[in-house]
Structure 1
Amino acid sequence: MTRRIRAAVLDQVPGKLEIEELLIDDPGPEEVLVEVGYAGLCHSDLHEIDGTFATQLPIVLGHEVVGRVARIGSAVTEVNVGDLVVTCLSVFCGSCEYCVQGRLTLCVRRARLQQDRPRPRLTRTDGSPVRATAGIGGFAEAVLVHQRGVVAVPDHIRPETASILGCAVTTGMGAVLHSASVRAGDTVAVVGLGGVGFAAVQAARLAGASRIVGVDVVPEKLRRAADFGATDVVNGREVDAVEAVRALTGGGVHHAFEAVGSGSTASQAFAMLRPGGTATVMGMIPDSHTIAVSGSALFLEEKRIQGAFMGSNHFKVDVPLYAQFERMGLLRLGELVTSVVDLDTINQGFDALASGHEIRVVARIGRI
């Protein structure tokens, strides 16, 4: 039996989210119905709203969710009713070539698991379908997701903190620990100090990096960088960021991480490397952008540039581990959430996110 929920729907691009009453379907055999408590506002959502990235309308955005399991399908074995769970958009099949190699974020059957079902997840009251981004659609009172797109987390973690585990934290932490495999003693630069960037800074600290340089243009973020583990900061609006990082680290860093989603900042990250270094792009760069890479730096200096989708995560293991790190005081997750809005004021939250002054904004959607 379907149920009525309130959700924030994007109907035109560029545009604003409109609060509507939708119908959400019952769980299929491997699906989980989750009552949403909080949902994080991600820059990828913002870029769909402003038209930077194309999307199919109408759609309920949001993929970074924490909530309680309300119902489960007949074949669900990975979570139980009542569990506090976090969603992650990198759902995986577990049996394709990439999954069996442990590269879950490259699963070739992801789209099928997210979208293929006999009936739409969401419909308007007139029966017309509404898409759910990444098979989640988190800016709603409830979400219907595949069981391989959720993971249970301990009840001790604050819900508003847990909401950012499924994307911002997983992406930033994973890029450092999985994609780049930063080692003790390495030097690191992180370009872009939002939720993803500050997660990367903390992961570099946990990995034992000897120097961690935070690069941004917002003074408030630079002032907070040391709290998360940065040893140095560079204001890219006041100085040449590449030259400043190279000067601070004696010729460049072992690892540079780009968290802005821009061709120019990815180019900067590559230019910050010392010989043999690796630049890892975490941000979503539009196809229209180009990245400047020196051919001689690739050939003669063995510098590398790579992408990291969702931090090359193993989120079923990673997310509970990060929650445990938070409990042990090893990760400062609560401080990453700098603003909380309600579902009815979610557009104001995206305005705040677009200003560049917030680290992470989350929407309070329901009580869990």
Structure 2
Amino acid sequence: MSLQRALLVKELGKPVELVHDHPIPLPGPGQVQVRVSVAGLNPHDQRVRDIGQYISPPAVLANDVVGKVTKLGDGVTEFALGDRIAYQAQFTKEQSQTGLQEYTVADVLAATRIPASISDDQAATLPSNIFAPLVAIFDTFEIPAPWTPDGKDFDYNGTTILIVGGGTNCGKFAVQLAKLAGIGRIIAVGGPADELFSYGATHVLDRHGGYDVVMSRIKELVGDDLLYACDTINPPEDQILALNALSSSKKGILATLLPRGLENDSRIAEKKAGFVWHKVIGSSHAKPALAVEFWKRLPEYLEQGQIEPLKFTAKQGLEATYVNEALDAYRDGRSVTRVHVHI
């Protein structure tokens, strides 16, 4: 068996460690082997390392992966040897797909070809951060994706979406996806106004001032008509803002990227028509039909500037020190510019 270097979670709550004897995976049907160039770290990687979310040790982190195709599995026609691809690794205990190792395998359904105009680092900002809001908008909200037959008759321009946590990476991509679909009013709470306006936000609201002040800013724009709200940042106890912004007379939908709050919370405003509250599972493997169609179209969106990659910080080499530093910063609630590991 061929071996490689990898950074492993050997024990929960402990720093990742470099090993030199990790097996190199081979692609199965519908998969490709990838020589990794960039692995992107996300906040959930800290939870994987420290509490075992999705995994059990020993495990490899980083679900956002970029590299070149080195082997093709049976039946693969979508990619060729040498293609540069970005992909989202599956959120499972199986560790052949995650990126902090030299070679991985990728499922074709969760992969996209990288245009020549986009760098490996730019591509690595995309997979998990764009797919979660994609699911929120075009699955949880049941707004038809613009490439579907149902999209021809949907009134995108007459639709309003509220995005709480506009300054997060998922929030920024949520704005871009809403703009891509032609949503008429895209309201972001929090985040850099100029950047969010450039992505397509129609309104950017200050998140400061307390619950009542921020709610009044939202209600001034939406009245009692808001049907779609996405919270990209808040823990369960703070999702009440987005929920109470929804209409009380029409049935609205709240999509959250963190676990949802309690539906018997006494702070919930009266909802005469009820409401739907969903925790979004932003996994390509959980939504394969949506994934295949989106990843197929993403290269064109990137080339046309309809989707723009986000900011990152690059670190050179498969080194445990700066991976642990980034994960510790997420754990401690410090501001983190997305970290990319060059392998």
State whether TM-score is above 0.5. yes
Corresponding residue number in structure 1 for 2:199: 228
Corresponding residue number in structure 2 for 1:301: 273
Per the alignment, in what secondary structure is the counterpart of residue 238 of structure 1?
Answer: coil
Letter in 2 for 1:18: E
Identify if the C-alpha distance between structure 1 residues 3 and 57 changes in structure 2 by more than 3 Å, giving closer, same or farther.
Answer: closer
Gaps of 5+ in 1: 91-110, 116-130
- Quick check: 177-186 or 158-167, which moved more? 177-186
Aligned residue pair count: 317
Query: 1:104-123 residue pairs with structure 2 within 5 A?
Result: none
Query: 1:152-191 residue pairs with structure 2 within 5 A?
Result: 152-180=113-141, 181=143, 183-191=156-164
Residues 223-271 of structure 1: CA deviation (Å, up to 9, x unaligned) = 6332322233334342323333122322352311011252124332211
Per the alignment, in what secondary structure is the counterpart of residue 190 of structure 1?
Answer: strand
Per the alignment, in what secondary structure is the counterpart of residue 62 of structure 1?
Answer: coil
Q: Is the contact between residue 177 and residue 203 of structure 1 (CA under 8 Å) also seen in structure 2? A: no
Per the alignment, in what secondary structure is the counterpart of residue 340 of structure 1?
Answer: strand
Give the Cα separation in 1 of the matches to 2:32 and 2:70.
Answer: 8
Letter in 2 for 1:319: W
Corresponding residue number in structure 1 for 2:227: 254
Identify if the C-alpha distance between structure 1 residues 169 and 29 changes in structure 2 by more than 3 Å, giving closer, same or farther.
Answer: closer
Letter in 2 for 1:305: W
Letter in 2 for 1:175: A
TM-aligned CA deviation for residue 290 of structure 1: 3.1
Identify if the C-alpha distance between structure 1 residues 256 and 263 changes in structure 2 by more than 3 Å, giving closer, same or farther.
Answer: same
Q: Is the contact between residue 37 and residue 120 of structure 2 (CA under 8 Å) also seen in structure 1? A: yes
Corresponding residue number in structure 1 for 2:335: 357
Give the share of equivalent positions with the same residue, in percent: 20
Corresponding residue number in structure 1 for 2:100: 139
Letter in 1 for 2:47: H
Give the Cα separation in 2 of the matches to 1:356 and 1:221.
Answer: 18
Corresponding residue number in structure 2 for 1:195: 169
Q: Is the contact between residue 44 and residue 284 of structure 1 (CA under 8 Å) also seen in structure 2? A: no
Residues 121-180 of structure 1: CA deviation (Å, up to 9, x unaligned) = xxxxxxxxxx51xx5121222212344443434343221121133211122234223432
TM-aligned CA deviation for residue 208 of structure 1: 2.8
Corresponding residue number in structure 1 for 2:244: 271
Corresponding residue number in structure 1 for 2:324: 347
Q: Is the contact between residue 255 and residue 273 of structure 1 (CA under 8 Å) also seen in structure 2? A: yes
Identify if the C-alpha distance between structure 1 residues 16 and 26 changes in structure 2 by more than 3 Å, giving closer, same or farther.
Answer: closer
Q: Is the contact between residue 61 and residue 100 of structure 2 (CA under 8 Å) also seen in structure 1? A: yes
Corresponding residue number in structure 2 for 1:317: 293
Per the alignment, in what secondary structure is the counterpart of residue 276 of structure 1?
Answer: coil
Gaps of 5+ in 2: 145-155
Given the alignment of the two structures, is residue 204 of structure 1 paired with residue 181 of structure 2, yes or no?
A: no
Q: Is the contact between residue 25 and residue 104 of structure 2 (CA under 8 Å) also seen in structure 1? A: no
Q: TM-score, normalised by structure 1?
A: 0.74
Per the alignment, in what secondary structure is the counterpart of residue 201 of structure 2?
Answer: coil
Per the alignment, in what secondary structure is the counterpart of residue 47 of structure 1?
Answer: helix
Identify if the C-alpha distance between structure 1 residues 161 and 244 changes in structure 2 by more than 3 Å, giving closer, same or farther.
Answer: same
TM-aligned CA deviation for residue 14 of structure 1: 2.2
RMSD: 3.0
Corresponding residue number in structure 2 for 1:119: none
Give the Cα separation in 2 of the matches to 1:214 and 1:349.
Answer: 27
Corresponding residue number in structure 1 for 2:255: 281
- Residue among 293, 299, 302 paired with 1:326: 302
Give the Cα separation in 1 of the matches to 2:238 and 2:87.
Answer: 29
TM-aligned CA deviation for residue 2 of structure 1: 1.3
Residues 292-346 of structure 1: CA deviation (Å, up to 9, x unaligned) = 5688845x2243223432275622221242332121122222xx22322334222
Give the Cα separation in 2 of the matches to 1:327 and 1:33.
Answer: 25
TM-aligned CA deviation for residue 86 of structure 1: 2.0
Letter in 2 for 1:245: I
Given the alignment of the two structures, is residue 51 of structure 1 paired with residue 51 of structure 2, yes or no?
A: yes
Letter in 1 for 2:253: A
Q: Is the contact between residue 234 and residue 244 of structure 1 (CA under 8 Å) also seen in structure 2? A: yes
Identify if the C-alpha distance between structure 1 residues 226 and 83 changes in structure 2 by more than 3 Å, giving closer, same or farther.
Answer: same
Identify if the C-alpha distance between structure 1 residues 29 and 319 changes in structure 2 by more than 3 Å, giving closer, same or farther.
Answer: closer
